[in-house]
């Protein structure tokens, strides 16, 4: 439905003030020179010129710990109540286009076969205002996985800073229009423009189709071991990643009272694949790293028709041992 | 060839080692661990002030161990970890080679624990000022304020367990977090769940932490974890007068009984 508008930075502030009272707004905030998505209630608190946050915004949809239901036993029977997963409409303000596109993957993952109730309700109330990238760093590689720094995929509104403190606004969905309607007179209509000169240059780092042929076909190879010797099997890459969706279901409480909770999990952990017998089909780290890469570029394409990496570079920036998914894909492209 | 590369090359040439773990420049303008299994790759080996990962963590990694004889490029914290794991019977004299980088950046090959002990005594550094200030600030808080401070810090924890994975002293083949029958450490990230984890981690490292700060550097949400273990070390030093990572025959106070101990309930 794309239509095009302009808004000044000052009016963007007023737009925020119009949205704020009725919605929960999550936006990037600076904490000790790093950026994190946090609830904000003042426009000034939003970081508009960040490159990328440490953790993704997936927790808006898929929280670190998500209560599925509470149970308690009374009079010989169990009572179950399902807490409402989301109260107010939630707007993520200023996420990057790579992150916005991760929500396309997330909604496919959680709704395609089985419709996850919590995720579905949250998605219905979720609005995404993305911000095209002015700047990128050398961990960014969206252009290698089919996106670009001004992509509107997954966004409801997309903002691109053009000259003179003015943002070019693309209204991508009905939901985007709904947001505009909060204060439509702050926007000015315009024609479609070519955004490419206003955005970061992100060089393409690999040819994903070519690399995929080898990633798909090579399972047993010393390359997997050689490339992952540094990996120590923590959960940072999976937990920072906007498209990692693995979880672990736990009952917290006693047999009388408690909650069933869905927590993040990571394929880098030893326990992740351990069977009840004690046998672990992926006993060493190289097999876990292989699973991560194959899941992103092979398994999720088989299952959902989508690569589950949007090129945000978080895993590269945050890995304590400087493991680099781009390097791995390049190695496999070159085999 | 640099002096460091010369030392490394010699180790390969005379067949002393199968794998050398050192530092190299990486694709993102930083440095990272490099695993060199033949002398042809030695020109990639570097050392500069950006090389700070404590590589001794790899000593216990199964896929690294499989290579056979290892050599490590290590500075002060790495060597302290060597002595600490030696005192815990995880490494014997002669099990690996250490190319030590002194405080002026010069490399030398250390052959045994005695040389390592001397090196450590001669290359002591002070902990960073910022950290000492924060420690002082926390120690001056009231009990309630301190509780609040740590509760707030722990509430940020996402339980990625990177603080454990990068620690050269967290070498258990099965960490308590990897046991789920029963689930000792809950997997959710909640105030109580996070406290479980941080008490377990800090207590398992009390009097063992050699202060490399890897946990803190790795933490994606910047929790000043090293302060907990540093403070526990301080109490242990006050009560038992011992410091980890200085001697290969360190008697870890929490697992050794001495007749002159103040506590007499065990006698
Ligand atoms: S790749 Fe890095 S972040 Fe991911 S599990 Fe390995 S050490 Fe942790
Ligand atoms: S795998 Fe890495 S680069 Fe790709 S989406 Fe996840 S965190 Fe971003
Ligand atoms: S590294 Fe930080 S976030 Fe991860 S488990 Fe440790 S304290 Fe928590």
A220 and A279 inside one domain: yes
Q: Is residue A69 a part of any domain in this protein?
A: no
A13 and A41 inside one domain: yes
pLDDT at B242: 83
A184 and A321 inside one domain: no
pLDDT at B266: 63
A residues 295-334 near B, CB within 8 Å? Answer: 316, 318, 320-322, 324, 326-327
pLDDT tops 90 at residue B126: no
A99 and chain B in contact, CB less than 8 A? no
Q: What is the pLDDT of residues B190-249, one digit of tens each?
A: 887 899 899 999 999 999 999 999 999 999 999 999 999 999 999 999 988 889 999 999
Q: Which percentage of chain B shows pLDDT scores above 70?
A: 99
* Contact check, Cβ <8 Å, B26/A324: yes
Domain total in chain A: 2
Smallest CA–CA distance from B62 into chain A, residue: A284
pLDDT tops 80 at residue B267: no
Last residue of a domain, one of A198, A232, A262: A198
A220 and A176 inside one domain: no
Q: What is the pLDDT of residues A272-303, one digit of tens each?
A: 999 989 899 999 999 999 999 999 999 999 99
Q: Domain limits at A49?
A: 3-55+75-198
Q: Parse chain B into domains and list their residue ranges.
A: 3-122, 129-255
A264 and chain B in contact, CB less than 8 A? yes
Q: Is residue A37 a part of any domain in this protein?
A: yes
pLDDT at B99: 98
A50 and A142 inside one domain: yes
The pLDDT-based confidence of B262 (bands split at 50, 70, 90) is confident
B186 and chain A in contact, CB less than 8 A? yes
Under-50 pLDDT residues of chain A: none
Burial of residue A220, with CB atoms counted within 10 A of its CB: 0-12 exposed, 13-18 middle, 19 or more buried: exposed
A87 and A192 inside one domain: yes
A315 CA closest ligand 1 atom index: 3
Last residue of a domain, one of A198, A228, A262: A198
Q: Is residue A62 a part of any domain in this protein?
A: no
Q: Please report the ipTM that was assigned to this predicted complex.
A: 0.94
pLDDT at A318: 97
B162 CA closest ligand 1 atom index: 8
* Contact check, Cβ <8 Å, B180/A284: no
Instruction: Please measure the distance between the N-terminal and C-terminal CA atoms of chain A and give it in whole angstroms.
Output: 43
Nearest to A65 among B58, B189, B214 (CB): B189
A277 and A183 inside one domain: no
Q: Is residue A308 a part of any domain in this protein?
A: yes
Q: Is residue A65 a part of any domain in this protein?
A: no
Contacts of B37 (CB under 8 A, 6+ apart): B18, B19, B20, B67
Distance CA A192, CA A5 (A): 9
* Contact check, Cβ <8 Å, B165/A322: no
Q: Is residue A61 a part of any domain in this protein?
A: no
A127 and A26 inside one domain: yes
Q: What is the pLDDT of residues B3-15, one digit of tens each?
A: 999 999 999 999 9
Q: Is residue A320 a part of any domain in this protein?
A: yes
Return the C-alpha torsion angle B227, B193, A234, A278, nearest 10. Answer: 130
Cα separation values, A168 from A5, A74, A171, A172, Å: 6, 58, 10, 12
Determine phi and psi for A170, rounding to 5 degrees: -105, 125
A188 and A216 inside one domain: no
């Amino acid at each position: 439905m794309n239509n095009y508008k302009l808004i000044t930075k000052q009016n963007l502030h007023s737009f925020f003030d119009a949205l704020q009272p009725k919605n929960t707004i999550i936006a990037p905030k600076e904490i000790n020179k790093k950026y994190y998505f946090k609830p904000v209630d003042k426009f000034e608190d939003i970081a508009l010129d960040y490159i990328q946050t440490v953790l993704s915004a997936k927790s808006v949809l898929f929280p670190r710990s998500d209560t599925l239901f509470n149970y308690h036993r009374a009079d010989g029977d169990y009572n179950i109540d399902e807490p409402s997963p989301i109260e107010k409409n939630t707007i993520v303000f200023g996420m990057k286009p790579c992150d916005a596109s991760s929500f396309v993957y997330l909604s496919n993952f959680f709704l395609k076969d089985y419709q996850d109730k919590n995720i579905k309700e949250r998605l219905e109330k979720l609005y995404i205002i993305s911000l095209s990238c002015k700047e990128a760093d050398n961990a960014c590689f969206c252009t290698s996985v089919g996106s670009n720094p001004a992509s509107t995929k997954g966004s409801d509104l997309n903002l691109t800073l053009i000259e003179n403190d003015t943002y070019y606004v693309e209204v991508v969905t009905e939901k985007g229009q709904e947001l505009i309607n909060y204060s439509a007179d702050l926007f000015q209509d315009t024609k479609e423009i070519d955004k490419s000169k206003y955005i970061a240059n992100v060089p393409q780092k690999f040819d994903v189709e070519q690399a995929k042929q080898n990633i798909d076909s090579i399972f047993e190879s010393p390359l997997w071991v050689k490339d992952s010797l540094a990996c120590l099997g923590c959960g940072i890459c999976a937990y920072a990643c906007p498209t990692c969706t693995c979880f672990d279901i736990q009952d917290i409480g006693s047999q009388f009272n408690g909650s069933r909770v869905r927590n993040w999990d990571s394929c880098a952990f030893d326990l992740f694949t351990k069977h009840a017998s004690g046998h672990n089909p992926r006993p060493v780290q190289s097999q876990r790293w292989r699973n991560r890469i194959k899941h992103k570029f092979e398994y999720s394409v088989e299952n959902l028709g989508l690569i589950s990496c949007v090129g945000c570079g978080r895993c590269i920036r945050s890995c304590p041992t400087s493991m680099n998914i781009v390097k791995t894909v390049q190695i496999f492209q070159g085999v | 060839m640099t002096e460091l590369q010369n030392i490394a090359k010699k180790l390969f040439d005379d067949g002393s080692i199968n794998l050398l773990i050192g530092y190299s420049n990486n694709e993102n303008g930083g440095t990272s661990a490099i695993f060199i299994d033949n002398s042809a790759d030695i020109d990639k080996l570097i050392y500069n002030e950006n090389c700070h990962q404590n590589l001794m963590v790899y000593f216990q990694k199964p896929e690294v161990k499989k290579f056979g004889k290892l050599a490590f490029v290590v500075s002060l914290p790495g060597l302290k970890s060597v002595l600490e794991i030696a005192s815990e019977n995880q490494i014997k004299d002669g099990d690996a080679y250490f190319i030590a980088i002194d405080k002026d950046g010069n490399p030398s090959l250390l052959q045994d624990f005695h040389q390592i002990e001397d090196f450590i005594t001669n290359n002591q550094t002070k902990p960073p000022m910022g950290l000492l200030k924060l420690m002082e600030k926390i120690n001056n808080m009231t009990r309630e304020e301190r509780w609040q401070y740590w509760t707030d810090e722990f509430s940020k924890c996402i339980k990625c367990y990177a603080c454990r994975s990068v620690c050269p002293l967290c070498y258990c083949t099965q960490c308590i977090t990897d046991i789920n029958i029963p689930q000792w450490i809950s997997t959710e990230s909640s105030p109580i769940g996070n406290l479980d984890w941080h008490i377990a981690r800090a207590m398992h490292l009390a009097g063992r932490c050699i202060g490399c700060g890897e946990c803190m550097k790795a933490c994606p949400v910047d929790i000043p974890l090293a302060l907990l273990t540093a403070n526990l070390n301080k109490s242990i030093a006050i009560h038992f007068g011992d410091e980890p990572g200085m001697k290969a025959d360190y008697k870890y106070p929490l697992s050794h009984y001495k007749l002159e101990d103040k506590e007499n309930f065990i006698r």
